[in-house]
Amino acid sequence: MLMLYRPIIPCMTFAGILIAALAGCSGGAKKPAPAAKNVVALYVKSGVGEPKPGDKVWQQAPLAAVAMLPQDLTDPKLMDSGIPSIHVKALCDDKNIAFNIEWYDSTPDTAEVEGKFPDAVAVQLPPAPGGETPDPTMGQAGRPVHIHFWKASYQQNLDRGEWSLRQNFPNASVDHYPSDAATDQADKEKLSEQFTTGLAAGNPITRKRTSSVDDLIAEGFGTLSFLPMQVSKGWSSWRNLKWSVVVLSPLAVADWPGGPGLKAGQNSFVAFAVWDGSRKQAGSRKMRSVWTPLALGASDYTGQR
């Protein structure tokens, strides 16, 4: 982080008199606590629920600053620097953990069409507690990681409702599909599977989207795949040139391979990745972090949401 220093002005200079008149030379408004380098998940006794960006509960959660690095280890690499850091807060209860990730981005890239890429963020967790973690670059053979991947295009399509090609291309001429003539939803889904090969093959990307977050597993570069159950959720807000994204995931899912998951009160690690669509970042072209210490449920929250 770039730090700017300026000389201390004596209290009796004009600037010092002005400050003293407002707050007193030895007093003044309380400064916010500096961001920590580790993530502490605030334990919420009443349950995490579904916290949205800007909800009051986030005000009590400790703030962490996480440095980001270009992904320059495997092709295609990100050769230019991007987002230097992100700010992270976390909440947890006995079943779930929620991360509020914020970073500056001058353009909200939400479309996923030819030549354009959406903004995105991923939360990476080891599937078991302990000090010995998998490789931070998407795990390693025999030592997987769970990745919860939010994408702005997912969020936009959810917010708009059922997606149509005309949402991105208003003047497009769309052919008639047999499923359009279905009399009810069951017939429509059956016809869709017959004429849409992705659905017939069970490709997870083609499923009807109910969340802006994908639950994934990896054991190193090139091994990313979907977890058997998709249960994480996400919400987002872009205001004042800044993304604020919430990713909510279970601490443990019995059907998720790789390990038993995490529990409140344990210590673990977390890593992040961020994509800036306007910089053509997609796939392995991303900003990434190393493992950051994660404390689950180090303090309690009893206030209002």
**Residue 66, domain member (yes or no):** yes
Q: Which amino acid is at 122?
A: A
Mean pLDDT along residues 117-134: 92
**Residue 92, domain member (yes or no):** yes
pLDDT band at 19 (very low <50, low <70, confident <90, very high): very low
Q: What is the pLDDT of residues 90-108, one digit of tens each?
A: 999 999 999 999 999 999 9
pLDDT band at 6 (very low <50, low <70, confident <90, very high): very low
pLDDT at 298: 55
Say how far apart CA 206 and CA 229 lie, in whole Å: 15
pLDDT at 300: 58
| Cα dihedral 282, 275, 91, 297 sign | positive
CB 231 within 8 A of CB 250: yes
**Residue 183, domain member (yes or no):** no
**Residue 6, domain member (yes or no):** no
**Residue 199, domain member (yes or no):** no
**Residue 169, domain member (yes or no):** no
Q: Which amino acid is at 263?
A: K
Print the SS3 string covering the chain: CCCCCCCCCCCCCHHHHHHHHHHCCCCCCCCCCCCECCEEEEEECCCCCCCCCCCHHHHHCCCEEEECEECCCCCCCCCCCCCCEEEEEEEECCCEEEEEEEEECCCCCCCCCCCCCCCEEEEEECCCCCCCCCCCCCCECCECEEEEEEEHHHHHHHHHCCCCHHHHCCCCCCCCCHHHHCCCHHHHHHHHHHHCHHHHHCCHHHCCCCCCEEEEEECCCCCCEECCCCCCEEEEEEECCEEEEEEEEECCCCCCCCCCCCCCCCEEEEEEEEECHHHCCCCCCCEECCCEEEEEEEEEECCCC
Mean pLDDT along residues 120-142: 92
Q: CA nearest 148: which of 78, 90, 109, 77?
A: 90
pLDDT band at 14 (very low <50, low <70, confident <90, very high): very low
**Residue 228, domain member (yes or no):** yes
**Residue located via tokens 């977390």:** 270
Q: What is the pLDDT of residues 200-243, one digit of tens each?
A: 888 888 888 899 999 999 999 999 999 999 999 999 999 999 99
CB 272 within 8 A of CB 102: no
pLDDT at 301: 52
Domain encompassing residue 78: 35-160+211-301
* Average pLDDT over all residues of the chain: 84
Q: Assign residue 285 the CATH number of its domain.
A: 2.60.40.1190
pLDDT band at 304 (very low <50, low <70, confident <90, very high): very low
Q: How many domains does the chain have?
A: 1
Lowest pLDDT segment from 29-43, 55-69, 73-87, 230-244: 29-43
